[in-house]
Structure 1
Amino acid sequence: MSANPGLAQSARQRAKAMDPQAGSAIFVHPDGSSVAAWTAMRLLAVGPDGQLNWDRLEYLGVYRGHLTNSLGSTSHGGATAHAFGVKVPFDSYGMYGTEPLTSLSGKPYSVMKEAQEAGLATGIINSGHLAEPGTGVFVASVESRAAVEEITSQIVESGTDIILGGGEALLLPTDVAGRHGVWGIRRDGLNLVERAEELGYTVVYTRQELQDLPSSTEKVLGLFAPSHTFNDRSEEELSVLGEVPLYRPDAPSVAEMLAVTLRLLEAKGKRFLLVVEEEGSDNFANHNNAVGTLTALARADTAVGVALDYISDHPSTLLVLAADSDAGGLEVKPVTDPSAFVLPLDLITRNGSPLDGPDGSGSLPFVAQPDRLGNRLRFGIAWADYEDLLGGIVARAHGLNAELLPTTVDNTDIYRLLYATVFGEWLQ
């Protein structure tokens, strides 16, 4: 037995990495989710002794998300490291800042574009709009994240088989109103919905339309909202607006999108690379909306369950999961005084951090599901900031080649693991 089990494990991983098995890969990116966020969601969903789908993943490593000019990550900089296997400046969207980027494999494009070139099926799924970088960077490269017209144009022209998310307005010119009743934002005059149809995409707009697709459908573009499929504002702002749901009721969840996508990809009869992002877990946290954040993370966990079910029937598939930041610096604040269970939470903690319950500031505490003794305990959510922070983040893996996940996971290792599974080679 090694005196240092971690080093022994790393050695075994390096030895195995010389000959990984080729198969299909699913990358799930629950944006902005730290270990504390998963802990809070576990309390609310299944209790402190319960098990999430996230808990079922076989391998775990501590995630390091620093970039070339920042100890923390941005969504687009982190996504670029995931998609290209190279550390970049924080303001990068599929490029090295504003310069062309060569991936770790030596190709001038992402692992997904390389997979397409090799004949694999590909797909991207996002609960946010299609230009969100967690998925967009895998098929688009621009000098600025703000260039949403160019990003969405590249996505539609990318040849990706399945493209699902929000953002209908980003694909339409300003004089065209979409199916969701919102005018387009494009000033270049392009109608990318019509262009997608010319390219052979079947365009769907609701959960029902997506689920009704026959398995023989070759290419799908899903546009389930004018922008995001969720309403990312604080609890207080949503309350002022009235009965505004956290998520659009007619839009599919990422789990529902994933289930249909796996059905369509399986019908193609070839290997695939699929990237899935739950964007709400980041955006709600950036607004310090605790119930929105935990709802989004629960939806991501359901998607993990869909992937696990698929892997049980298709063991030549890898699932890798990682965030790249700790959005808002969420922490669990236990309520330890039983007499306070029926009282509203303090507005702030002793050091001044905002404190949320299910209805925002000044509401009653969250109530956890029962522990193994039947106790239902209370907690609040404290926030450190509105921004994406460097916090306690882990990557997890399950299925084919999952043992290759290092115990300490650099952001570029996500690329390495995807590449090893798609191409059967671990890149140093």
Structure 2
Amino acid sequence: MTNWRIRDFQPSDLDGFLRLWEQYIAQVDIPVYALNEVIASTRADTAVVAVIGEEVVGVTVARAAHDQAWIVFFAVDAKLQRRGISRAMLAAIEQRLASTGISQMSILVPDEIENIVSLSRAGFADQRHLRYFERTIPIRQEEILLLRELGGRMLGRDRWDAIGGMTTEKDLLERRLILPLANPSTAEQFGVVPPRAIVLFGPPGTGKTTFAKAVASRLEWPFVEVFPSRLAASPKGLAGELREAFERIDDLDHAVVFIDEVEEIASRRGGEPPSPTQAVTNELLKVIPNFREKPGRLLICATNFIRALDPAFLRHGRFDYVIPIGLPDEGARHAIWQMFIPPTIRENLDIEPLVQATDGFSPADIEYAARSASQVAFERALANGHSAEDPAPTIGTTEGPSVDDYLSAISQTRATVSAEVAREFEEDIEALARI
């Protein structure tokens, strides 16, 4: 029998490791750990090799995490299996890790690997009740600093589901935007070109910004909001800063870029003298085609006054869709009220009268009415003998606002969107929407 021995991994063993790696990946569709991860662990974590002379015939690499160790790579030359090399390497790894406080060792084995007898013989139990789940972090480490410089961020994954009601708008955005962008290969098979830029339009306070953030959340792409007012303060001027901002965004693998109140920098050109924003509009019209060339990008522009936009801004080739976002429907109003009613009374309060009474209200209008009712109830509780200095006053039978409090607040709240604005919005849908 050929003699072999176990020793610590050395940098000169890399060629032998790569030869065993090639044998390993020939057996599996997808390795549990990527090659670069395993190589990094040979340098930073614990690794041993089995050698015959100076030839590497086996490698085992482990990574410690608290009191548990994970075997990230484990292979023996196909010609030398079933000779005890595997068990010897596992024992050597265990001996080295035991002194560091490790109390458990685990290994994930791809389904295609059949030779697992050595693991059983080494004392590893097959935990058949376990399944392996994996998640890829949606942003590279080197992108984080750039994102911070741009004022962007990764949003929580719950924003899409948090939008209650608005099923028509959500369904449209899901089908037109999210599905093609999240499944580009399948979209290509069917001849679908994922959108690169859209416009959201509607009356003030209808949730256009909320939808933009929800789309970024749903895609798990960084959200970068471009603020023209901040760019205007630069010595380079608004047009120059706008161009530079988009050039820096280009270094992100994925991004949802949002410009709110875009009419401020894309208003109708012309007139004598020319509008002060004409140069900025020209720059934006140049930036958009360049932005569209690279996949993994979505520009969302929002406007309250779509009629004020330059006609060239909305033409085909720049924006794929022009989508109306109206006032919250009944389901959305119900969800919004749920957000602002105190938890202590939410289950016992009949919300339906409030939902019906706020037809035509924007989300901001509902929030204002809810806050007003809470303030009235709070002041009433204190006036009934509770000390303002009491850190936890007992409200007695009045635990919070009543339905009458809310209805009274609603009656005193002026809706942001007037009947005239609502009528113009319907006209804009007919004339300008592109869905």
**TM-score normalised per structure 2:** 0.25
Counting strand residues as a fraction of each chain, which structure ranks higher? Answer: 1
Greater CA radius of gyration, 1 or 2? 2
Higher relative contact order (CA 8 A, sep 6+): 1
Give the number of the structure whose residues are more often helix, by fraction. 2
